[in-house]
Amino acid sequence: MVVGRSRAVALLGMRGAIVDIEVDVASSLPAIVIIGLPDTSLGEARDRVRSAASNSGCALPAKRFTVNLSPAALPKHGSGFDLAIALAMLAALKVVSTASVAAIVHIGELGLEGRLRPVPGVLPAVMAARDAGARRVMVPQECSAEAALVDGIDVIAAGSLREAAELHGARFTEPPPIPLTEQPATPTAHEPVTIESTGDLADVVGNEEAVEALLVAAAGGHHLFMVGPPGAGKTMLAARLPGILPDLDLDAALEVASIRSLGSVAVRALPTRPPFEAPHHTASAIALVGGGSGVIRPGAISRASRGVLFLDEAPELSRVALDALRQPLESGSITIHRAGAVATFPARAQLVLAANPCPCGRMDDDAAGCTCTPIVRRRYLGRLSGPLLDRVDLQIRVRRVTAAQLLAADDTSTRLSSAQAAARVADARAAAAERLSGTPWRSNAQVSSRWLTGDGDGGRRLPRTVTAPLDRAFERGLLSMRGLHRLMRVGWTIADLRGAGTPTADHLALALTFRAVMTA
């Protein structure tokens, strides 16, 4: 007997590592022993592989198979190793070509009848294989379109273990004992909200200031916090933000598709539009930032990366869950530590928070009358910690729509449409990208504080006469240093939207009005 060799990919978060699989066959008590830090689902591969091989017409002999997964110290999880293990075992038995199996990376789960089933994370796994120098990869038929999105690597699709073995040189004279039955379409996870379902910005009645703030948020990539009574249009505004954002570039599209693949959403083409996530206010900290006791999965902020994360009724979320967002909002990524592994996911999402002004929601409505005491009101919004709100650039009040505004609602000619807003946002982002060329940033929200306050290294320090409105607010204690710099970034975005090359004092004063919730 020879040692059969194959390769697979172990995923940890968005990153993957090549795993070398070695199989030794010995004349001993029949068994399949898997070593090399497998988890429970991977350890169960011994039963799936034996049944799949038997039902594919290449039954394994009554011998002892020792399967080694190297490097042994790397945690390995999931059923995506089934195909690689089965082919390495057949290579050790000389049923298939040992050289052919060793040259290809294999990804796929085996059914008991020998069918190859799709697994989550095929896209990032194939990208990891390509980056590690692999040139060919074999995946289940249902995952072939997803794997083909990766350039620079040949994709081989197989529908069953028998077909995969034949592609590696196996010759069968008898039909399989159990022919593969017709399978219904595999259900996939719920697809993300599409832009077509979010409506048009022209549907928003009144609240011109809120629409302008939404435009600034889209143009600069800024976070947004809206406070207003029920029915004022906060959710409507948030749902229309993705529709005015620019299309995803190639790197962003691959990132979004990889996150969806890890979440078991079928990826058949690269997405072109930003994602939109709106978890319920009962979501836990793990649901928002990711985690899990076994496999580390991405949370809502990672699924919304390169798009929008909308938290409606934000004060109703647990404070632990909200404060867990502070670090990823600052760094653009989230690193999750567990006892046996550390996983990193992207978290470049625009955060949109929405809240009522008080528990009853009628604080701004003189006619209805608020029944909340002052301490109840402070305690309600106090659930949003100061350090969290300090990371939110735009904080605005959304007013209730008046009867006169409703009567004029049929006239949409004066209201900004999503198409018009998207064009303005694209022009503003192009101006920012041109100014930031030669730097690692492409939007105003990303620039460093040193760029804002320094003259060297391409910095754009503004004169004191221009920053006077922000300086006065800072001296009065209404702004922290972080808040001061964030409003400078907002000022640059306002200047880009209005076609000015550099912010003026009026632009920064307007930026300060978009901080009303904090400074009021």
Contact by Cβ (8 Å): 137, 264: no
The neighbour count for residue 135, using CB atoms within 10 Å, is 12
Same domain for 204 and 160? no
Residue 186 included in any domain: no
Concatenated DSSP letters of 142-156? GGHHHHTTSTTSEEE
Rounded Cα distance between 76 and 312, Å, is: 37
Same domain for 272 and 325? yes
∠ CA 164-166-170 to the nearest 5 degrees?
125
Same domain for 136 and 235? no
Contact by Cβ (8 Å): 242, 307: yes
The string of pLDDT tens digits covering residues 9-30 is 999 989 999 999 999 999 989 9
Residue 51 included in any domain: yes
Estimate the crossing angle of helix 208-220 against helix 481-497, to 10 degrees: 100
Residue 440 included in any domain: no
Same domain for 112 and 199? no
Domain end residue (candidates: 371, 403, 435): 403
Same domain for 285 and 359? yes
Domain end residue (candidates: 388, 403, 418): 403
At residue 175, the pLDDT reads 84
Residue 18 included in any domain: yes
| Helix, strand, coil abundance in the chain, percent, nearest 5 | 40, 15, 45
The string of pLDDT tens digits covering residues 272-292 is 999 999 999 999 999 999 988
- Which among 6, 150, 157, 155 has a CA at the least distance from the CA of 85? 6
At residue 196, the pLDDT reads 42
> Is the entire prediction scored with pTM above 0.85?
yes
At residue 517, the pLDDT reads 65
Q: Could you read off the pLDDT tens digit of each residue along the chain, which spans 520 residues? A: 689 999 999 999 899 999 999 999 999 899 999 999 999 889 999 999 999 999 999 999 999 999 999 999 898 999 999 999 999 999 999 999 999 999 999 999 999 999 999 999 999 999 999 999 999 999 999 999 999 999 999 999 999 999 999 999 999 888 888 788 766 555 444 444 444 446 889 888 888 899 999 999 999 999 999 999 998 899 999 999 999 999 999 999 999 999 999 988 888 899 999 999 999 999 999 999 998 877 889 999 999 999 999 999 999 999 999 999 999 999 999 999 887 788 999 999 999 999 998 998 887 666 567 888 889 988 998 899 999 999 999 999 998 887 777 766 666 667 889 999 999 999 999 999 999 998 899 999 999 998 998 865 567 889 999 999 999 999 988 899 999 999 999 999 999 999 998 999 999 999 999 987 644 4
Same domain for 205 and 149? no
- Which among 259, 258, 335, 292 has a CA at the least distance from the CA of 77? 292
Domain that holds residue 290: 195-403
Number of domains making up the chain: 2
Query: What token pair was written down for 54?
Result: 């038997």
Place of tokens 């653009």: 332
Rounded Cα distance between 425 and 423, Å, is: 5
Residue 485 included in any domain: no
Residue 469 included in any domain: no
Query: What token pair was written down for 220?
Result: 């600069």
Residue 128 included in any domain: yes
Same domain for 381 and 314? yes
Residue 172 included in any domain: no
- CATH number, domain at 316? 3.40.50.300
Rounded Cα distance between 88 and 390, Å, is: 55
- CATH number, domain at 101? 3.30.230.10
Rounded Cα distance between 75 and 260, Å, is: 22
Query: What token pair was written down for 174?
Result: 């008898």
Same domain for 228 and 361? yes
At residue 199, the pLDDT reads 81
Same domain for 129 and 261? no
Same domain for 150 and 234? no
∠ CA 137-140-144 to the nearest 5 degrees?
70
Dihedral sign of CA atoms 313, 314, 320, 324 in order:
positive
Q: Give the DSSP H or E segment for 110.
A: strand 109-110
Domain end residue (candidates: 369, 403, 437): 403
Same domain for 247 and 391? yes
Same domain for 137 and 205? no
